[in-house]
Amino acid sequence: MSNSAEIIVGRNSVMEALKSGRSINKVLVAKGERHGSVREIIGLAKSNGLIVQEVEMNKLAELAGGMRHQGIAALAAPVDYVEIEDILAKAAELGEAPFIVLLDELEDPHNLGAILRTADAAGVHGVLIPKRRSCPLSATVAKTSAGAVEYVPVARIGNVAQTIKDLKAAGLWVVGADMDGDKNFYEADLTGPMVVVIGSEGKGLGRLTKEHCDFLVRIPMRGKINSLNASVACSLLLYESLKQREMKAK
């Protein structure tokens, strides 16, 4: 279900969006606004595991662009999020080993859009993004993905380390892209049920995330700059994995 209208404003509209199960990135409430239906909306948002953020009234007015916001707005995703189980079920349905990308606090919507585009091209079954400190699906992501956001399921996750543990327990291998990797990415076996973990633009993989990966691979750098753009790094790993899978299938 596509809808590029990202901003929902007004108490009734936000309440209905929450009740309908629409994929919401976060709810914004004017500072000090806690009366009547606003309190009810905040309660419903929190019970759905959504982020509720207090903002200044002028910020809401700016987002609302002239519409009556009544002290509340919601930022909606352009497509619905899925659950991890849906992604695993999709792989099983296709009779393929699960091939998943996990983004550890990636913040640039252009990078996320580019990764979704490559993920679609490389046959990835789904992408996982943390609920906090991470770029959500937005109109910018949708546009940069060149339509791939319609085809690559995206699930939001809570704790990254816990999610990695759960995926390992489900039989997936977890490979992280990191400068401290034990081997070059093209020397590692990237076939079978796999999660490829890509870090944030500035910091790379978090310490705990690194510790929970089964192994780390590096991308050799011969120039003066010691890291690649996150979406480029992701593309290299996904296509190496695709190449290895196709060679193995022959």
Residue with tokens 């022959």: 250
Task: Please give the pLDDT value at position 1.
Answer: 34
Question: What b-and-e string marks burial along 201-231, b requiring 16 or more CB atoms within 10 Å of the CB?
Answer: beebbbeebbebbeebbbbeeeeeeeeeebb
167 and 195 co-located in one domain: yes
141 and 203 co-located in one domain: yes
154 and 212 co-located in one domain: yes
92 and 215 co-located in one domain: yes
Let me know if residue 1 belongs to a domain. Answer: no
208 and 150 co-located in one domain: yes
What mean pLDDT value characterizes the chain? 90
Last residue within a domain, chosen from 41, 76, 111: 76
Mean pLDDT over 177-199 rounds to 95
Q: Which residue has the higher pLDDT, 224 or 103?
A: 103
Domain extent at residue 121: 84-249
> pLDDT of 8-43, one tens digit each?
888 888 998 888 888 888 999 988 877 788 888 999
pLDDT confidence tier of residue 51, bands split at 50, 70 and 90: confident
57 and 89 co-located in one domain: no
172 and 130 co-located in one domain: yes
Task: Please give the pLDDT value at position 3.
Answer: 41
How many domains in the chain? 2
Phi, then psi, of 217 in degrees rounded to 5: -120, 150
User: Model pTM?
Assistant: 0.85
